[in-house]
Amino acid sequence: MTTHYLVLSALLFAIGGVGVLLRRNAIVVFMCVELMLNACNLAFVTFARQHGNLDGQLIAFFVMVVAAAEVVIGLAIIVMIFRTRRSASVDNANLLKY
């Protein structure tokens, strides 16, 4: 069963990655990142069960905490950009280039 979980987690992670690359709306990109994080959590929990010790779950817990902090900051930035830029598209913020 473990490989199934891991394959699922890999698949979700890949979809998340593709989502980050394809979508232009900052919030959707952000959600895809959350998706990738959840995929990792799944892998952690699977390994916790596989190895029979709590470390996996512990790590997953901490990942959630970090993810929360990240979301807070990310969204604040998105709001700020939206406020000045009137659009949340990721491609608009492209002044930092050659």
Residues 68-97 that bind another protein (CB under 8 A): 68-73, 75-80, 82-91, 93-97
Nearest approach, Cβ of residue 45 and another protein (Å): 5
Residues 50-69 that bind another protein (CB under 8 A): 50-55, 57-58, 60-62, 64-69
CB half-sphere exposure, 86, CA atoms < 13 A: 0
- Total binding residues toward another protein, as defined by CB under 8 A: 82
Residue 26: exposure state from Cβ atoms within 10 A (0-12, 13-18, ≥19): buried
How far apart CA 10 and CA 18 sit, in angstroms, is 12
Nearest approach, Cβ of residue 75 and another protein (Å): 5
